[in-house]
Amino acid sequence: MPKTKEDNSGYKVVGVTTPTQVVPDAEMITRDDLEGGRWTIRATGHDEAKSDAGERSMFVPTYDDEHSRHIRAQQMFYAKCSPTEKQWEKVWGKRKYATDRALLACEVLRITHLMSKAGFSPEQHLQRGSELLDGKLMSQHNDFQSVVLNAIATKGTLGYEPFLEGVSQHHPEWIPVLDKLANEATEFYNSVDKHNAKCREEGTEWRIIPEVHATGNKPQHNGFGYTEKLAKWVEQVVGGMTEEGKSNPSIPKPEHAKGEEGDEGKKGKKGKSKEAKALAEMLKSLGEAGKEQRESQQWGRGNIPRKGVKEMWEELRVAKPPLVRSVIGAIGKKRVASATGRNPRRMSRLLTDPERRIFDRTVKGAGGVVLVDTSGSMRLSADQVKEIVLHAPSALVAMYSGGAYKPKPNLWVIANKGRMVEQMPRPNGSNGMDYPALEWAVKQRQRPSSPVIWVSDGGVTGRHDAFHDDLVMECVRLCKKQGVYVVPDPDTAIDLLKRLQRREKVTSIIPETLSQTYKEVTGQELVLR
């Protein structure tokens, strides 16, 4: 009879062995941007693995099996290639080419890509275990954005198929789109490898661009720049994903769940053809957009931008000149007849008004913010700006124009609360800070429902009056998210203001530059409020 161990309490311990512990050799990892040194490595559960190369700490499962080994390899790759927490705070987090969620998903894909390249088999051994449920819940709640990002994050791993299976339980029609998108994303990283391999083969090493795993000190020499590029593309293709994860109206609506048919089921059928059409269009545009995205890279130096979007804008400097003139108008605070009140001011209504509304009631205006682009391309005269002000009496009206040296202002509040400036400020000439100005305008609105109107030809530029798609897209995203009305010239602005006063339904008249750039970048038509 085999002997069993017995501890002090008298209990017999049967069949208990100490498992073999495998600790990763994280010290062997080299990076261009960090010094080597000792690592603190601790054992943890499969779903709690994490690492930070900056702090040289790693939490990984230490069991001797393939699944644990692949999680260790994944964390080793994070330690090898991903930005440290400090680098994130200092550099990458501030660049704002894409949201954190999208960056995270695309970074997971980059790591999976590198794992496969290094001879690991993530498609056979790497999974969280909760993918099926994740897919099911995300699709059940119609969270298309999360579904897309998760599909990208799980692509190339064992968890990809279960995730799609989960999604297909509520939205089988999403699968081809997800698959296409994930394939295009994988192909994006492959294309960098292919380009460099071709350069080596042809002996044109000078054309070699940073590798996918590069860890250069500057962003343009760092492989995370590809993650950033991919994340930007994914967001653009899928359409204006937000940090808050709000659903996008252009995303196909949910198919009604089985068992909930009836009246809703009928509606679902009616909507299904529209959804199918939208999906088919999206699927088509995905392929084109992905191909264009890769072709447009032209894989050369400067492929990864040196600066973040935020750094490309001029600094906003707001001036508030004295508002000395009164603007009388109807959009603001006004008195209307009322049947109740303290002082009867409209006695004549006793005879003329069947409801005898002899009192006054104050009605607050809708308020609003009008932001006028007074850059050179708008060719606005002081009178035209004044005309806009006169048609927006209770609104805050500001004009902006960049290109001036500090401390000269580049945005002026020219009217507010029924008062305006005596003389219009002289604009500086260029744009330079459209986004910061828009951001400022959105913050100024009196109530969440107050309209924000941006009068601009869409000729968005950054520092030194430089044009860049990313700058335009950032403005577009803000306009979409905040429901900003965009009009290209003073006439349409005045028309829109008049219609707003009459409480009519209004829509943006999108400047051509904005719609064209948006179409080029996303392959889709731009729709604004």
Q: Which residues bind another protein (CB under 8 A)?
A: 20, 22-32, 36-39, 41, 64, 69, 72-73, 76-77, 80, 114, 117-120, 211, 213
Decide whether 51 or 430 has the Cβ nearer to another protein. Answer: 51
Decide whether 37 or 448 has the Cβ nearer to another protein. Answer: 37
Among candidate residues 472, 477, 440, the one with its CA nearest the CA of residue 456: 472
Closest approach of another protein to the CB of residue 78, in Å: 10
Q: How far is CA 490 from CA 378, 382, 397, 442, 459, in A?
A: 9, 11, 13, 20, 15
Closest approach of another protein to the CB of residue 302, in Å: 20
Residues 165 and 154 sit within 8 Å (Cβ to Cβ) = no
Cα(186)–Cα(110) distance, rounded to whole angstroms?
8
Decide whether 30 or 124 has the Cβ nearer to another protein. Answer: 30
Closest approach of another protein to the CB of residue 519, in Å: 37
Q: 318-319 and 50-52 as β-strands: parallel, antiparallel, unpaired?
A: unpaired
Decide whether 114 or 421 has the Cβ nearer to another protein. Answer: 114
Tokens read off for 449:
């429902």
Give the DSSP letter string of 308-372.
-HHHHSPPP-EE---EEEE---SSSSEEEEESS-SS---TTHHHH-TT---EEEEE-----EEEE
Residues 28 and 16 sit within 8 Å (Cβ to Cβ) = no
Decide whether 37 or 259 has the Cβ nearer to another protein. Answer: 37
Closest approach of another protein to the CB of residue 33, in Å: 10
Closest approach of another protein to the CB of residue 22, in Å: 5
Closest approach of another protein to the CB of residue 34, in Å: 9
Give the DSSP letter string of 258-290.
TT--SHHHHHHHHHHHHHHHHHHHHHHHHHHHH
Closest approach of another protein to the CB of residue 151, in Å: 24
Helices 100-117, 224-238: crossing angle, 10 deg rounding: 120
Q: What is the DSSP letter of 159?
A: T
Cα(213)–Cα(473) distance, rounded to whole angstroms?
28
Decide whether 214 or 279 has the Cβ nearer to another protein. Answer: 214
Among candidate residues 480, 440, 436, 443, the one with its CA nearest the CA of residue 460: 436
Decide whether 63 or 345 has the Cβ nearer to another protein. Answer: 63
Q: Name beta bridge partners: 59.
A: 42, 50
Decide whether 304 or 411 has the Cβ nearer to another protein. Answer: 304
Closest approach of another protein to the CB of residue 184, in Å: 22
Decide whether 214 or 309 has the Cβ nearer to another protein. Answer: 214
Strand ranges, E, within 173-223: none
Cα(476)–Cα(484) distance, rounded to whole angstroms?
9
Decide whether 26 or 420 has the Cβ nearer to another protein. Answer: 26
Residues 234 and 185 sit within 8 Å (Cβ to Cβ) = yes
Residues 209 and 300 sit within 8 Å (Cβ to Cβ) = yes
Closest approach of another protein to the CB of residue 28, in Å: 4
What phi and psi, each to the nearest 5 degrees, are found at residue 396? -90, 125
Distance between alpha carbon 493 and the CA centroid of its chain, in Å? 28
Closest approach of another protein to the CB of residue 113, in Å: 10
Which amino acid type is present at position 158?
Answer: L
Closest approach of another protein to the CB of residue 217, in Å: 11
Closest approach of another protein to the CB of residue 62, in Å: 10
Decide whether 23 or 339 has the Cβ nearer to another protein. Answer: 23
Tokens read off for 174:
């999403």
Half-sphere CA count of 144, side-chain side, radius 13 A: 26
Decide whether 301 or 443 has the Cβ nearer to another protein. Answer: 301
Distance between alpha carbon 386 and the CA centroid of its chain, in Å? 35
Q: Is 265 exposed, middle or buried (0-12, 13-18, 19+ CB in 10 A)?
A: middle
